[in-house]
Amino acid sequence: MAKTIHSMIRVLQEQRSIEFYHQAFGLAVAERLDFETFILIYLSNRESGFELELTVNKARSEPYALGDGYGHLAVSVDDLDAEHRRLAELGFNPGAVVDFKHYGKKLARFFFISDPDGYKIEVLQRGGRYL
> Which CATH class name applies to 1-59?
alpha beta
Taking 80 as the threshold, does the pLDDT of residue 2 lie above it? no
pLDDT digits (tens, 9 = 90+) for 15-30: 999 999 999 999 999 9
What is the value of pTM for the model shown? Answer: 0.90
Q: What is the pLDDT of residue 43?
A: 97
- What percent of the chain is predicted at pLDDT more than 90? 83
User: What amino acid is encoded at 22 in this protein?
Assistant: H
**Which amino acid appears at position 34 of this protein?**
D
Residue 106, Cβ neighbours under 10 Å: how many? 12
Residue 3 has pLDDT above 80, yes or no: yes
Domain 71-131 fold is: 2,3-Dihydroxybiphenyl 1,2-Dioxygenase; domain 1 (3.10.180)
8 A C-beta contact, residue 51 and residue 117: no
Domain ranges for the chain, please list them: 1-59, 71-131
Mean pLDDT of the 77-105 span = 96
CA distance 90 to 34: 30
122 is catalytic: yes
